[in-house]
Chains A and B, each alone.
Chain A
Amino acid sequence: MLDLPILSFLIWLPIVGGMGVLIVGDRSGAKQFALGIALLTFLLSLPLYTGFDLTTPDMQFVEFIPWVEAFKINYHLGVDGISMPLILLNTFMTVIVVIAGWEVITYRVSQYMAAFLIMAGIVNGVFAALDAMLFYILFEAMLIPLFLIIGIWGGANRVYATIKFFLYTFFGSVFLLISLIYLYQLGGSFAVADLHKLPIELTPQILIFLSFLLAFGVKVPMWPVHTWLPDAHVEAPTGGSVILAAITLKVGGYAFLRFAMPIVPDAAAQLDWLVIFMSLTAVVYIGFVALVQQDMKKLVAYSSIAHMGFVTLGFFVIYALAAKTAANPLAMSSSVLAIQGGMVQMVSHGFISGAMFLCIGVLYDRMHTRDINAYGGVANQMPVFAALYVLFAMANTGLPGTSGFVGEFMVILASFGANPLIAFAAATTLIVGAAYTLWLVKRVLFGDVKNAEVAALKDIGRREFWMLAVLAVAVLLLGLWPKPLTDVMDVSIRHLLDQALNSKLCSGLAGGCP
């Protein structure tokens, strides 16, 4: 079993399958074929979990083929405890998205399904890439399917939103390219493992870190480069919003762990205040912005930004903790907690935001409006749907027992050790987040039936029920029993901390710089 190139399958099966769907075209059977591919990909990704060795921080399921020899670029794949859960999340959400588009999409169905499958393959590649240039290529290639998804199947203002999305992220990532080439010239290799070991002086480290921050910060997205996200979310079709929120945002967070922190640890330690400040701004300020939204999707989009703020806060608070190591022997375990919290938050947010967008999609399919004021008393007509919606809303506010609680709690707990003020600012989300989510629920679901359209609503069908129920189970399971997830990550995170907290300045090394 271990000898099968599982990761390659996970990349190429959806891509080739997506092309197959394109060839089948809009005949009957295209949807079934796409679902089959998505399910098969998900099943193929399960051995990553079952066959995972919990005791080693090394990369597993490694594949290595020399690719572009002129630049020493290799087709080098592998996963550790950080990337593996994200691959599972991706393959899982792709199945959900295919089901979500089943009856809703009537225009160019095969192209729609194919775009999501190809996207899934590329994202798997992004998470599995151990070669920086391979990562970059897939990181960029990811833009193409999403650009088309938003542009073809999106809402009224889709063209503006999708071009903004593309240019924003492309602008961020070209600086990543420059940095990677610079690192290649310094160390003569694009292998991520080599880059982790490469000693670099402080000034280049800071420039490289800033370019990473730009590239990944746009993707996450962090305040103040988040403005593309609400537009993209509002205009994207439901499936596009789900993938955007559940998967592509995670690429940014993952890249911070894989690239920014281990490659330029000294710069990260120097500039941790900047990232922490940006994260807290996202948590607090964007939370208030979410409060005043009239558009349901925009509200969830802003809440995504706030939740992703927790992720980056968890990652970078370790530097504030490390500064206190001498005074506080608990700092190391707090650091593990912080990063684990960020990771759990990423996975959990993948489920919750995906589910929230699906719920909005369910309403939108019936009413064709996302305006909160057009709704009221939906629970009277759609009791089953309302129950599920409330569950996801609770998870979004971080109610204990749901997955939303675990990650946020861990991050707040860890940041308390660094600075109680940080923890305090982060914890305001429990109030603001509850405010905007519960107010949304109140206005949409509860109260009297507002108008004739709401009165005519029919409750969710079997397809919609199962799609949401599976996510509800995932949210509860992760909330009640996060251990399987944290166990997988533990060793890898300790290894990462080792790299991210040790100086790579030449002066600190025995041999000096090459």
Chain B
Amino acid sequence: MNFTIAMPEIFLLSTICLILLIDVMLREDCRMISYLLTQVALLATALLAYGAMDGDKTTGLNGMYVRDDLAGVLKISILLLTFGVFVYARKYLKDQNIWQSEFFLLGLFAVLGMLVMVSANHLLVVYLGLELLALSMYALVAFNRDDGRSSEAAMKYFVLGAVASGLLLYGISILYGLSGKLELPEVLAFVSAQNVLENIPLLFALVFIVAGIAFKFGAVPFHMWVPDVYQGAPTAVTMFLGSVPKLAALAMLLRVLAESMGTAQPGWGQLLLVFGLLSVLLGNFSAIAQFNLKRMLAYSTIAHMGFILLGALTGTTQGYSAALFYTITYAMMAAGGFAVLILLGRAGFEAETLDDLKGLNERNPWYAFMMMVFLFSMAGIPPTVGFYAKLSIIQAVMQAGYLWPAVFMVVMSVIGAYYYLRAIKMMYFDKPEENAPIKADLDFTVLISVNGVLMVLLGIFPSALMSICSAAMVASHL
């Protein structure tokens, strides 16, 4: 058997075990070593994933695993984003006195789960990766175990997540019952031979699978967990949960729906259309009513996920690559936005509400500018990258003939602009309520600056990332 196809995952797993062993022997004041090892492991895995990209599509491990450029791009994005998120998280964990290596180890396990999902060529492997990710995330959400809200959020997440996994698995089992196949290419062969809209059992399976995927995205009507979990989880975990796993969710969508059931697009496209439009509607309107910033960003995430679903529903290469571009850039802005929240917190104080942003421009103009860039980018105002993300989605949606959904999307983005503007208003137009100095280590400061500047640079020169995304789709025959 050829194991090299799963080289990055195998390497990551071995390093996780190694870090676990080392960490047991470390004294409490040497946690830094585990942290550094974690970061090195992420970067090394990213290098391995980069080395594995050869423009080809190869399957291995008895057809259960696939290595292609799409997987490569997604893996590198996941690993680098996690690297950044962990840099941000370090300040939070130290401030809130939960500086424990378990955060990084659970995070690594979640990353491993995501990598498996990204490279899965078999429905059960998708499920395995998903569960590894989900179980690690449940534990992470409950990470601050003495905090009632954190435990409540974890409980809610766990119960609803388990139901969603059940839905997905049920859908997969119906599909298996119909076709007798689980490998994605063979499922595709089966589905292609069917008249999807007439085949009720197949549609039944499809509905369950789409429901499971929509839950992972947090799209309406499976969005109930998002605001509560975002608010209840420690901010570092919210940041991780709100950025990186979106890439894995997209990978699942691309593998399961686009790759193995691409010919069933008339079936699942309708579902995604409804879910996407509802998400954009509900996410934007509910976000207006929020004063808790984490909750506001949670609803804004729902709206953004609506955009991604709408891009993916087109079933075209252009739509898929637009969705990929959107997801990567969204994950970056979300991480940046939460990082500013972490930045505003300090020992014994967590920045959570809109009021905590007040007067940031007077306290520190540069961080205020960075936050403004993140917010404008989420609102989709040029010259930030969020504009190109929205442009490419809308372009793809219109290309596929959905003119009125596109009009609906842009009108909703005007509604969305309101609450982002309100946050900017707090930073720039209001007087600060407190003047505690904003302190951060050099690595944090550099990273958030790079993150913010990147939002503008990618907004001015989006070509490179765009062509990476579409090349990945083309190489993976999507």
Interface residues, chain A, with chain B CB atoms under 8 Å away: 22, 67-71, 108, 111, 133, 136-138, 140-141, 143-144, 147-148, 151-152, 158-159, 162-163, 166-167, 170-171, 174-175, 177-178, 181-182, 184-185
| 16 more CB-based (< 8 A) A-B contacts, given A68-B463, A162-B425, A163-B421 | A68-B388, A69-B467, A133-B391, A144-B376, A148-B428, A158-B429, A159-B425, A162-B429, A167-B418, A167-B421, A174-B411, A177-B394, A181-B394, A181-B398, A182-B403, A185-B398
Contact A182 B429 (CB under 8 A): no
Known A-B contacts A68-B388, A71-B395, A178-B394; A151 and B429 likewise in contact (beta carbons under 8 Å) = yes
Q: How far is the CA of A399 from the CA of B339 in the complex (A)?
A: 59
Residues of B within 8 A of A148 (CB): 428
In terms of DSSP, what is the predominant structure of the interface of chain A?
helix
Interface residues, chain B, with chain A CB atoms under 8 Å away: 361, 365, 376, 381-383, 387-388, 391-392, 394-395, 398-399, 403, 406-407, 410-411, 413-414, 417-418, 421-422, 424-425, 428-429, 462-463, 466-467, 470
Residues of B within 8 A of A138 (CB): 382
- With contacts defined as CB atoms under 8 Å apart, how many contacts are there between chain A and chain B in the complex? 87
Q: How far is the CA of A152 from the CA of B359 in the complex (A)?
A: 11
Residues of B within 8 A of A184 (CB): 395
Q: How far is the CA of A158 from the CA of B428 in the complex (A)?
A: 12
Contact B463 A170 (CB under 8 A): no
Contact B395 A137 (CB under 8 A): no
Residues of B within 8 A of A22 (CB): 365
Residues of A within 8 A of B422 (CB): 163
Contact A174 B410 (CB under 8 A): yes
Contact B381 A143 (CB under 8 A): yes
Contact B463 A151 (CB under 8 A): no
Contact B425 A151 (CB under 8 A): yes
Residues of A within 8 A of B418 (CB): 163, 167
Known A-B contacts A68-B462, A152-B428, A182-B403; A140 and B394 likewise in contact (beta carbons under 8 Å) = no
Contact A152 B381 (CB under 8 A): no
Smallest CB separation, A23 vs chain B (Å): 10
Residues of A within 8 A of B381 (CB): 140-141, 143-144, 170
Complex A-B, nearest 7 residue pairs according to Cβ-Cβ distance, in ascending order: A174-B410, A137-B382, A151-B429, A70-B466, A171-B414, A140-B382, A141-B382
Q: How far is the CA of A69 from the CA of B406 in the complex (A)?
A: 22
Residues of B within 8 A of A151 (CB): 425, 428-429
In terms of DSSP, what is the predominant structure of the interface of chain B?
helix
Smallest CB separation, A71 vs chain B (Å): 7
Residues of A within 8 A of B470 (CB): 70
Residues of A within 8 A of B399 (CB): 185
Q: How far is the CA of A242 from the CA of B457 in the complex (A)?
A: 31
Smallest CB separation, A382 vs chain B (Å): 33
Q: How far is the CA of A509 from the CA of B466 in the complex (A)?
A: 37
Contact B365 A111 (CB under 8 A): yes
Smallest CB separation, B155 vs chain A (Å): 39
Contact B425 A163 (CB under 8 A): yes
Q: How far is the CA of A493 from the CA of B160 in the complex (A)?
A: 65
Residues of B within 8 A of A71 (CB): 391-392, 395
Residues of A within 8 A of B413 (CB): 174
Q: Which residue of B lies closest to A134 (CB)?
A: B382
Residues of A within 8 A of B382 (CB): 136-138, 140-141
Residues of A within 8 A of B463 (CB): 67-70
Contact A140 B414 (CB under 8 A): no
Smallest CB separation, A418 vs chain B (Å): 34
Contact B421 A177 (CB under 8 A): no
Q: Which residue of A lies closest to B414 (CB)?
A: A171
Residues of B within 8 A of A69 (CB): 463, 467
Q: Which residue of A lies closest to B401 (CB)?
A: A185
Residues of A within 8 A of B425 (CB): 151, 159, 162-163
Q: Which residue of B lies closest to A163 (CB)?
A: B421
Query: 8 interchain pairs (CB within 8 A)?
Result: A22-B365, A137-B387, A140-B382, A175-B407, A178-B394, A178-B406, A178-B407, A182-B403
Contact A182 B410 (CB under 8 A): no
Q: Which residue of A lies closest to B410 (CB)?
A: A174
Residues of A within 8 A of B376 (CB): 144
Q: How far is the CA of A111 from the CA of B382 in the complex (A)?
A: 20
Contact A166 B421 (CB under 8 A): yes
Contact B383 A137 (CB under 8 A): yes
Q: Which residue of A lies closest to B398 (CB)?
A: A181
